[in-house]
Amino acid sequence: MEYSLFRALTQLGDDSLILGQRLCEWCGHGPTIEVDLGLSNLALDLIGQATMLLDYAGELEGGGRDADALAFHRNAEQFANCLLAEQPNGDFARTVVRHLLFATYASALYEALTASPDARLAEIAAKAVKELRYHADFAADWAERLGDGTEESRARMAEALDWHWRFVNDLFHDDRDWAACAARGLVPLRQSLRYGFERDVSAILERAGLALPRKVWPIVGGRSGQHSEHLSVLLATMQVLPRAHPEAVW
Amino acid sequence: MYTTELGKVSPLQDGAQEDPERLAAFETRVAADEFVEPKDWMPQAYRRTLVRQISQHAHSEIVGMLPEGNWLTRAPSLQRKAILLAKIQDEGGHGLYLYCAAETLGTSREEMIDALHSGRAKYSTIFNYPTLNWADIGAIGWLVDGAAIMNQVPLQRTSYGPYARAMVRICKEESFHQRQGYDLLLALAKGTAAQKAMSQDALNRWWWPALMMFGPPDEDSPNSAQSIRWRIKRETNDQLRQKFVDATVPQAELLGLTIPDPDLNWNEQRGHYDFGAIEWDEFYAVVRGEGPTAKERITARRDAWANGAWVREAAAAFEAKRAARVAA
């Protein structure tokens, strides 16, 4: 039974890790210094969350793996992050929309996880939820600014929404392991958060003068290791040193 | 991270056009180690020299994010990744305070950034060297930030108040960065043969550029005397360089690394290390923008600025609309 919780924790940890890794790519290249520093803050929070979640996953697994072993020594198909997290940064609008969708989902999820009967998970969630609420606000503020800024920024936001919307179903997918944990009351079903998510995102987009995209054929598979083309490239970069020097301590 | 004075100005020439009484009063104040504040009268040349120095320092912080950022996505542990991210973020923060300090002298951030992108303003030559292996991240913290601290500690007492105050916080953070770099190299020193080789390779490549960071030898540094008189600088390039060598050699020994200088020797009589000749031709070439990664660095900055233009325009348009709504 602990296997399900191990899998659920890697889903959570991998989301944070892979999105954090993506945000690292912005460092030094942001549209202003302030935004650059802001994106680094988001990345730092996510990498901190990933470390706590994956360390806990490794302990539960009982095979001597810690967060680093899980982060640097698994292949793409063993990663359980949502497809949204691994999508390339694109322009700043795509980064903002990716973060808006992710953080709106994750802040509601972690809010619920603070009440988990698993004390360690509840403790991690209590720290993470404060960070993720800020992430959701940061993304919502930028969504509003860009949606209601210039013609160009509005067009880029509409394109970015259209780009990412196909991955939303995957974000809310309850796979067998997650559902098993939900049945034990350790985590909420993601589907139970979907209504609130659409309500919150719609409200933000309305303030930004943007609309929810129409329903599209969903692209799914992240939780079961069926990723997009981008993940293995991201991992090739991220894992290069530990893979080249497996015996080294850094 | 810090640059030493690189641009060419002639601060002495236009001193003649200043009101001699005001100039004398100013010189007396500065000589008494009083702080000059933004609204105080100051000679034009003092203002210009400061804008040049502070903006070069700010540009160096921002460009300096790039060589370290090069390894951020490849940091070999989650902890090292978080540390490096926070460290680079500090450098960006330094850039921000320094632009603000320079703005108090009447030059806008946009003007300064434009000067950087057009090549009129310089940044520290050190960032035009590549980061080729993970140990370079340690070497930058240890040597580059270490050299920066030597340069910057005296600037906490520099005569221009906003610059001096910015430097107090910057120095605290840089000293943390230096320990961070050294800690990274200590881990490699305890590691595998390949990790030790990375460290030695990094030291071999960064040692001489780090010594060049203090600027040309005193006899070729024409503005130093005036800058020292104005308390914009407090020690000469060669004094600072010597201090750096003396402090760093024992640290290299502790890491089990060899300084790539066959002429390095402890001089009992002087109480200092003697060291070999610096290749100043290389320094001047790098200052001219001919360093190994000069084109990559400035192109990355120009691209970031150009690609972000629509974001800045959108934010400004949104603010204007919001202000109009509030006023209505």
pLDDT tens for residues A125-169?
A: 999 999 999 999 999 999 999 999 999 999 999 999 999 999 999
Q: Which residue has the higher pLDDT, B18 or A82?
A: A82
- B81 vs B90: CA distance, rounded Å: 14
| B14-73 residues touching A, CB cutoff 8 A | 62, 65-66, 69, 72-73
Contact check, Cβ <8 Å, B72/A24: yes
Q: Specify whether the CB–CB gap between A144 and A206 falls below 8 A.
A: no
When the pLDDT of each residue in chain B is averaged and rounded to a whole number, the result is 92
| B275-304 residues touching A, CB cutoff 8 A | 300, 303-304
Query: Which candidate from A44, A50, A144 shows the least CB-CB separation from B86?
Result: A44
Contact check, Cβ <8 Å, B73/A35: no
Distant-in-sequence, close-in-space partners of A178: CB < 8 Å, separation ≥ 6: A4, A7, A8, A11, A187, A189, A190, A223
Contact check, Cβ <8 Å, B317/A149: yes
How many beta-carbon contacts under 8 Å exist across A and B? Answer: 139
Q: What is the DSSP string of B204-256?
A: HHHHHHHHHTT-S-GGG-TTHHHHHHTTS--S-HHHHHHHHHHHHHHHHHHTT
Per-residue confidence (pLDDT) for residue B14, from 0 to 100? 53
- B271 vs B195: CA distance, rounded Å: 34
Give pLDDT tens digits for B31-53. Answer: 999 999 999 999 999 999 999 99
Give pLDDT tens digits for A166-203. Answer: 999 999 999 999 999 999 999 999 999 999 999 999 99
Distance from CA of B209 to the nearest CA of A (A): 22
Average pLDDT over residues B234-254: 94
Residue A146's closest CA among A161, A167, A136?
Answer: A161
Q: Which residues of B touch A37 (CB under 8 A)?
A: 89, 92-93, 96
Percentage above 90 pLDDT, chain B: 84
A169 interfacial to chain B (CB closer than 8 Å) = no
The domain locations on chain A are 3-244
- B246 vs B239: CA distance, rounded Å: 11
Contact check, Cβ <8 Å, A33/B191: no
Q: What is the pTM of this model?
A: 0.95
Q: Rounding to the nearest 10 degrees, give the CA dihedral for residues A152, A206, A138, A88.
A: -50
Contact check, Cβ <8 Å, A92/B308: yes
Minimum Cα–Cα distance from A234: chain B residue: B73
- B229 vs B50: CA distance, rounded Å: 13
Contact check, Cβ <8 Å, A241/B313: no
3-state DSSP assignment of residue B291 = coil
When the pLDDT of each residue in chain A is averaged and rounded to a whole number, the result is 97
Categorize the per-residue pLDDT at B11 as very low, low, confident or very high, splitting at 50, 70 and 90.
Answer: very low
Query: Which candidate from B76, B77, B88 shows the least CB-CB separation from A27?
Result: B88
Distance from CA of A205 to the nearest CA of B (A): 15
Q: Specify whether the CB–CB gap between A230 and A86 falls below 8 A.
A: yes
DSSP state of B116: H
Categorize the per-residue pLDDT at B233 as very low, low, confident or very high, splitting at 50, 70 and 90.
Answer: confident
Give pLDDT tens digits for B108-146. Answer: 999 999 999 999 999 998 999 999 999 999 999 999 999
| A181 to A8, A128, A187, B60, B275: CA distances (angstroms) | 7, 19, 6, 51, 66
> Class of A3-244 per CATH?
mainly alpha
Q: Largest alpha-carbon pair distance within chain A?
A: 54
